Amino acid sequence: MDMERKITISDTGFVVALLNQSDIKHSDVVAIYQNYQQILLPQTVLAEVAYLVGRSAGVSTVAAFLKGLSASRFHLIPLSETDVIRVSEILEEYKDSRIDFVDATVMAIAERLKITLVLTLDR
């Protein structure tokens, strides 16, 4: 597949591992990141990344990521009203699993955009 067509979507864990050089998965994540021209980043994921990275690596790391976001392979994507309805359905459907709101937003956006591969470190 041409790199031009390689578009996917990311969850929080992938981005956190990308930003955290001491993460055990960091080098693997960097290699995967470089394989995609565009990685969709739901705004819900961005909020969670900022919180988690801010706690572990500090606000300066978050600020540097945000400053470089527009020049990165990440492309911010908002939730639509239809996505929110689908999120509620996903949460209900998977209520016995460990899915949370942010993961459900990733799933809903991926479904809407017909993206079959999610960059995740979840099992």
Ordered by start, the domain boundaries in the chain are: 3-119
| 32 vs 56, more confident | 32
Global confidence as pTM? 0.91
pLDDT (0 to 100) of residue 122: 81
**Domain over 3-119 is classified CATH 3.40.50.1010:** yes
- The residues pairing with 10 across neighbouring beta strands, listed in sequence order, are 119
For 17, phi and psi rounded to 5 degrees?
A: -65, -35
pLDDT, tens digit, 9 for 90 and up, residues 9-38? 999 999 999 999 889 999 999 999 999 999
Q: Which single residue is written with the structure tokens 């790391």?
A: 61
Residues 34-46: what's their mean pLDDT?
Answer: 97
Strand runs labelled E in 62-114: 74-77
Residues 80-109: what's their mean pLDDT?
Answer: 96
Strand runs labelled E in the chain: 7-10, 38-42, 74-77, 118-119
Residue 101 vs residues 14, 36, 91, 106: alpha-carbon distances, Å: 17, 25, 7, 9
